[in-house]
Amino acid sequence: MALIVQKYGGTSMGSVERIQNVARRVAKWHAAGHQVVVVPSAMSGETNRLLGLAKEISPQPDPRELDMLASTGEQASSSLLAMALMSQGVAARSYTGWQVPVRTDSSFTKARIKSIDDERIRADLDSGRVVIVTGFQGVDEEGNITTLGRGGSDTSAVAVAASLKAHECLIFTDVDGVYTTDPRVVPEARRMTVVSFEEMLELASLGSKVLQIRSVEFAGKYRVPVRVLSSLTDPLVPLEEEMASGTLITFEEDQQMEAAVVSGIAFSRDEAKVTLLAVPDTPGVAYSILGPVAAANIDVDMILQNQSVAGTTDFSFTVNRNDFARTLDLLNSQIGPAVGATEIVSDDKVCKVSIVGIGMRSHVGVASLMFRTLSEEGINIQMISTSEIKTSVIINDKYMELAVRALHKAFGLDQDKSQEEQA
Ligand code: ADP
Ligand code: ASP
Ligand code: MG
């Protein structure tokens, strides 16, 4: 008997029929003698619908009230799943984040989990029930409902698995694993049977939305075995087959030895770039620019400062597109005049494309192949940043898909269709 946490995403919970299929799959695990905790997302489209209603009332709704609202999607899907299980003869009980409780900090709309009380969950599991814990939500010290950021049910699931020391955390979604890039953009993308934790961390942080970045961080911190797999298969597929499917995030060093130089391509459209022209090239200028940005709780990603000409330099950085308007306001009203910038130029039609691979540590020329590939497509690189296992570029977002496809091919990641057909 093992304790398994299973997370089902929005598409997997998207209709009454799909919820009944989730219940069938969960019932199968339960009947085989396993203890199962299920973490569902809201039904697909529901979180967007709720946030859309809020936006109709106010362009910048109060964050606490947004969390009150957005958390309801998961409460609905969780109770529906409990009912579906009961109607299939399986004892089940659902809990909201505050009932468990899943304690978080008070950063509404992007709260971080601090601790999970597993007493109630364990008692129910021991009495033979399937326990359902709403994804995406928690409660802060003052008793306010919080949510964990878009895609946050992944993090709820891995955090619950960590606190229960679960045997494995299964992330059921609408793809059958983690691919070399988003298969919706590159149909030739290949599923990886294993992906190293470090690569998954980079892929998630650079935009692959198959797992929320914080869920991968949790998995690493608490060594939770996480598997990404499809919820759209026959729910009664044998357990052994299910446990061998999808993509396992591995912490094994030896997997890394066999790793391809580049194992995946990530991309993100959530980018915006700003540049202050002709700021003085003197000590303290970067701090004068980025200090107030940080104080406004705006995350800065890439930063570029050019060689100075006649004592002045151009200073560029990127922020999330959601923070673009606030950043520009701050630059125009406060920072620009304070540092004496002659002009502020901005562009929110940029995107970030990244290549990721542990093999980059030991191979030279990887970044140059990336740059050559982009140049052959006539794509101009606006900014570059590198780390040991990734290289990212900022480019015009109208070239994003072209860049991803060209890089996927150039790094030999396309699956060989002819071989597949022969097999
Ligand atoms: P869920 O609702 O189950 O959480 P998401 O939409 O959040 O599902 O994540 C699954 C989606 O992630 C897939 O449908 C796919 O389009 C996208 N995706 C992006 N990058 C990848 C990747 N490298 N591998 C697999 N899927 C990816
Ligand atoms: N329902 C939330 C969202 O749409 C959380 C999740 O699905 O993981 O972002
Ligand atoms: Mg998701």
pLDDT at 116 over 50: yes
Taking only the tens place, the pLDDT of each residue in 14-53 is: 999 999 999 999 999 999 999 999 999 999 999 999 999 9
pLDDT at 260 over 90: no
Closest C-alpha to 326, from 299, 356, 307, 360:
299
CA distance 30 to 2: 10
- Inter-CA distances, 140 with 108, 134, 311, Å: 9, 16, 49
Taking only the tens place, the pLDDT of each residue in 236-258 is: 999 999 999 999 999 976 555 55
Q: What is the whole-number distance in angstroms between the Cα of residue 215 and the centre of ligand 3?
A: 10
pLDDT at 174 over 50: yes
Residue 190 DSSP one-character state: -
Which position has the higher pLDDT, 410 or 359? 410
Could you tell me the domains of the chain? Answer: 3-253 (3.40.1160.10), 264-410 (3.30.2130.10)
Confirm if 91 and 123 have CB atoms less than 8 A apart. Answer: no
Strand order in the sheet with 226-230: 92-95, 130-133, 35-40, 3-8, 168-173, 226-230, 247-250, 194-196
Strands 247-250 and 194-196: parallel
CA distance 43 to 259: 36
Residue 8 DSSP one-character state: E
Confidence category of residue 212, pLDDT binned at 50, 70, 90:
very high
Phi, psi of 54 (to 5 degrees): -60, -45
Confidence category of residue 307, pLDDT binned at 50, 70, 90:
confident
Residue 13 token pair: 């919970």
**Number of DSSP helices (H) and strands (E) in the chain, helices first:** 16, 18
Q: What is the pLDDT of residue 259?
A: 59
Q: Which helix or strand (DSSP H or E) is residue 294 part of?
A: helix 285-295
Residue 413 DSSP one-character state: -
pLDDT at 120 over 70: yes
Q: What is the pLDDT of residue 254?
A: 55
DSSP E strands: which ranges in 9-62?
A: 35-40
Q: Does the beta carbon of 267 sit less than 6 angstroms from any atom of ligand 1?
A: no
Confidence category of residue 334, pLDDT binned at 50, 70, 90:
very high
CA distance 366 to 360: 7
CA distance 422 to 329: 58
Q: Does the beta carbon of 182 sit less than 6 angstroms from any atom of ligand 1?
A: yes
Residue 267 token pair: 């991309």
Residue 357 token pair: 């691979």
From the CA of 212, give the closest atom in ligand 1.
Answer: 7
Q: Does the beta carbon of 42 sit less than 6 angstroms from any atom of ligand 2?
A: yes
Calculate helix-pair angle for 72-87, 46-57, nearest 10 degrees.
150
Whether omega before 101 lies within 30 degrees of 0, making that bond cis, reads yes
Calculate helix-pair angle for 197-205, 213-222, nearest 10 degrees.
160
% of the chain beyond a pLDDT of 90: 90
Q: Which residue type is seen at 280?
A: P
Q: Which helix or strand (DSSP H or E) is residue 408 part of?
A: helix 400-410
Taking only the tens place, the pLDDT of each residue in 192-202 is: 999 999 999 99
CA distance 390 to 33: 43
Q: What is the whole-number distance in angstroms between the Cα of residue 181 and the centre of ligand 2?
A: 21
Q: Average pLDDT for residues 297-307, to the nearest whole number?
A: 90
In this structure, of 115-124, 231-240, 300-309, 402-411, the range with the lowest mean pLDDT score is 300-309
Q: What is the pLDDT of residue 253?
A: 66
> Which of 77, 154, 173 to probe ligand 1 with, by most ligand atoms within 8 A of CB?
173
Q: Average pLDDT for residues 122-140, to the nearest whole number?
A: 98
pTM of whole model > 0.75? yes
Q: Average pLDDT for residues 338-355, to the nearest whole number?
A: 96
Q: What is the whole-number distance in angstroms between the Cα of residue 42 and the centre of ligand 2?
A: 6
One-character DSSP codes across 319-371? EEGGGHHHHHHHIIIIIHHHHT-SEEEEEEEEEEEEEE-GGGGG-SSHHHHHH
Q: What is the pLDDT of residue 371?
A: 97
Closest C-alpha to 28, from 153, 130, 149:
130
From the CA of 10, give the closest atom in ligand 2.
Answer: 7
Confidence category of residue 422, pLDDT binned at 50, 70, 90:
very low
Strands 35-40 and 130-133: parallel
> Distance between alpha carbon 94 and the CA centroid of its chain, in Å?
25
% of the chain beyond a pLDDT of 70: 97
Query: Exposed/middle/buried for 388, CB within 10 Å: 0-12, 13-18, 19+?
Result: exposed
Residue 5 token pair: 């946490």
Q: Does the beta carbon of 47 sit less than 6 angstroms from any atom of ligand 2?
A: yes
In this structure, of 360-369, 373-382, 385-394, the range with the lowest mean pLDDT score is 360-369
Q: Which residues pair with 250 in a beta bridge?
A: 196
Nearest CA to ligand 2 atom 8: 151
Q: What is the pLDDT of residue 310?
A: 85
Mean pLDDT of the chain: 94
